[in-house]
Structure 1
């Protein structure tokens, strides 16, 4: 396929960067610095998406992604996961680009790519959704995290203001537990950090509007976003932990997830040290080891003790942090 056609495909498929503007989205603006950070995250995400939309091979895409500064590279890989996901869903084209991406140069960024696939699912017809059994049986729930983030980010009135919750979500097809809503809520909670403009009081206020039964998942997502993207100083991050109240361990669990993703990909930056210290009372490497050792103990199985292994993993990580702030779980 020629360069001209690939450039045209990029222009056709890639959303306009204005979609990431806080003004366009109507999100809270805490400060010019926070606004610039969140909009840069969006810009880098779309940059990764565009690389995937245009690339002739997944390696060509990865080579371009690896030129992006470490702080934002993961977001670009997430965008590329969405870009390849959209291409996988197009008629008359390949349907295994993300498979090749995950098995090859995208492997160190697998968490982010799976999240990006969830973004793509929100944009392509249901019949074009990927089969869930092609993904790691534990990590596949991250796809629904991505779907939840997308819906909260672009359909904020429905999913955040209206606290809409998906019922009987059809992916994965082999879930007997109805866990999909929990995984989607983690993504909605992750979007809260963006919608609330990284302002702890605003974010906590958004979460409080939801039924209490959804708070743990929402706080886990918020902890993930606050740790991966950051956007707060020490006092603000400490305040976020205080506002989480009884869900402080869930906040720490999300933070540990984010930290492990950065450690795995070699993208640890100063704010990773900051958030690991404040949310987990650990170094990034220690927080990552908590995630990895518990996952290794559980093994690569879909279900554990009648629950998705992903949920058991999350709960056991959270239990490692029940001592923080004297919180019980």
Structure 2
């Protein structure tokens, strides 16, 4: 049964190569780095499908180099969430994953779930329905997560962090269908209102890969989008720059000028990246450099801003708490 499951649900590592995806060629070092990220995500996914047990999956993933480990946790989340959907009589894998060490990767876990939503018929619509129902009233800070296990599952997403799966959905569509969503400027299907904006944040992250972390190509691609979409795309670029990396320091310095007037969104994305890596204990040199250049502070200081801004969020407002959080961070960079 294990072999059959792996055969039926397998995704080839070739799917993460620039040649297969048709991404813009870049220098060999950057291309290898970005391909390694994609392959590591798929390695995490394959590990989840093979082991079918959160503890065993985590043990395997922890053997991966720290710089890339978060991507494996993200991929494993997609795999475990898929298995939960396929076996409703045994659907607590993601819950157990987050009770265990996956808790330190909760950001990446929700993003990974977004990949699954892109591949399930009706997945994104049903998820949005559940997200709208989420009634979590408070979140003390980033390091305190909901105590109810049900608020940590795709079926019961958290009203703050649950938006990250929409980001993951946007990334997936840009990564696998860039000719439609990036080159063709196609609006997201089955989304409306604020979810379209979060989709664009993920789409911006995918641009980093599609354009080979090339500043000029990224800038030209974003310029083709309608003005109201550009701020969120630049936010995604900031997160990709800070978390994934792959751009030379001199080009990172030019990002700030290139992003104007969307610098606050760019810096907010970098701050998210800093917090995500620090929480997981896998801070990299490129994240530190991105924070210093684009945020004007250390990665730890940028991460602290994301924590401090959680205070005072209002879950009863018209503006989603996730957007309140983002706007609060952006105010530090105006």
Q: TM-score, normalised by structure 2?
A: 0.88
- Deviation, 1:166, is 2.3
Partner Cα separation in structure 2 for residue 197 and residue 126 of structure 1: 31
Partner Cα separation in structure 2 for residue 91 and residue 144 of structure 1: 23
Partner Cα separation in structure 1 for residue 123 and residue 275 of structure 2: 33
Partner Cα separation in structure 2 for residue 125 and residue 317 of structure 1: 35
Match of 1:118 in 2: 114
Partner Cα separation in structure 2 for residue 296 and residue 234 of structure 1: 33
Distance 1:50 1:295, change over 3 A: same
SS at match of 1:137: coil
SS at match of 2:185: coil
Structure 2 unaligned residues grouped into runs of 5+: 135-155
Structure 1 unaligned residues grouped into runs of 5+: 171-177, 323-329
Q: After the TM superposition, which residues 145-156 of structure 1 pair with which residues of structure 2 at under 5 Å, given as runs?
A: 145-156=167-178
- Deviation, 1:168, is 5.0
C-alpha RMSD of the superposition:
1.7
- Deviation, 1:271, is 1.2
SS at match of 2:310: helix
Partner Cα separation in structure 1 for residue 296 and residue 19 of structure 2: 35
* 1:260-317 per-position Cα deviation (integer Å, ceiling 9, x unaligned): 0001111111112111101111111100000011013326x3x43x200100110111
Partner Cα separation in structure 2 for residue 48 and residue 123 of structure 1: 17
Partner Cα separation in structure 2 for residue 66 and residue 228 of structure 1: 18
Partner Cα separation in structure 2 for residue 317 and residue 27 of structure 1: 32
Q: TM-score, normalised by structure 1?
A: 0.89
* Counterpart contact for 2:117–2:123, Cα < 8 Å: no
Match of 1:311 in 2: 323
Partner Cα separation in structure 2 for residue 107 and residue 167 of structure 1: 31
Match of 2:248 in 1: 233
* Counterpart contact for 1:89–1:124, Cα < 8 Å: no
Match of 1:273 in 2: 288
Partner Cα separation in structure 2 for residue 259 and residue 6 of structure 1: 37
Q: Which moved more, 1:207-216 or 1:130-139?
A: 130-139
Match of 1:294 in 2: 309
- Deviation, 1:91, is 5.2
